[in-house]
Amino acid sequence: MTTAFTIVGLGESLFDVFPDRAILGGAPLNVAYHAHQLCSASGGRGVVASRTGTDELGRRMLEELRTRGLTADLVQIDDAHSTGRVDITLRHGEPTYEFLADVAWDHLEWTPEWQQLAETCDAVVFGTLAQRCPGSRATVQRFVETAQQAIRLFDVNLRVTFFDADSLRRGTELATAIKLNADELPIVLRRLGLASNATDSELCDEPSGGAGRLLQAFARTSLRSVVVTRGEQGTELVTHEVSVRGSVARFERHPQADNVGAGDACSAGLLWGWLNGWPAERTVTLANRLGAFVASQPGATPSIPDDLRW
């Protein structure tokens, strides 16, 4: 029997702007949306903890959240900065990103409402992008520090130059799990001084592709799991006890499909499995299925069919 879980997506909220459309997005928002689809049937919820402007995109964001069944009550309103956006260019289905600077989510504030959310949520996902400015970095880290009862997933999501060794190290120290893709793993290992002389091929030859180094380095912290996503090869979950890859799913691809948000759907699946106490293989298999389905659809937040949620 499942519980009415609350899963928080903490950080950036924005619109993914393609040449022909603008789609609601931002990694934490995407995770919260997919988590809401998983949680709502049992009375739970996904919650977006972010900040938006009072411009047209900001009004549209709040309305879209409500239309999709998510609360907008924890989204802060900023009348001095514009709503976040990222211009996306696709090459062979793979996205490249250009982020607008100094937007609303660069000014996240610590509030009594956010403190209550941090103290009561069951899981929170956070990354590096929302920590690119000092004020938001302090707020993100305070939220995660406060949420000691929760699963704390650090989904690093390295974007251009919006990260540094300090945010990577502190995020890993605060988290109970960290998620990276296969390209990000060697970058993080080097930034943290854990693979300064190793080549990418040497790291790939290691058991779990170097993921074990992160667990070993942070053995005395709360970090318990490292998740490495490997695109069409699926997702690997590494703990102190096991290394598991779930089965890889395949779906018919929509003509306008892109891979935006696939990793965020994967994160929602991981959190759902962990909160329900599922075995590692079942959890990773769900994460793979959700990620593969979103990669087969246009945009980051398609509706998930009921038969994929379990």
Alpha helices (runs of H) in the chain, residue ranges in sequence order: 27-39, 56-67, 112-120, 134-146, 165-174, 184-191, 200-205, 211-217, 262-275, 280-295
Q: What is the pLDDT of residue 203?
A: 55
- pTM, whole model, 2 decimals? 0.91
Q: What is the pLDDT of residue 196?
A: 65
Q: Catalogue the long-range contacts made by 157-162 (C-beta closer than 8 Å, 24 or more residues apart).
A: 157/27, 157/127, 157/128, 157/129, 157/263, 158/128, 158/184, 158/187, 158/188, 159/97, 159/99, 159/128, 159/129, 160/97, 160/99, 162/99, 162/128, 162/129, 162/132
Spans of the chain below 50 pLDDT: none
Which pLDDT tens digit goes with each residue over 170-209? 999 999 999 999 889 888 988 888 876 655 555 555 656 6
Domains and CATH numbers, the chain: 6-301 (3.40.1190.20)
Q: What is the pLDDT of residue 289?
A: 93
Q: What is the pLDDT of residue 202?
A: 57
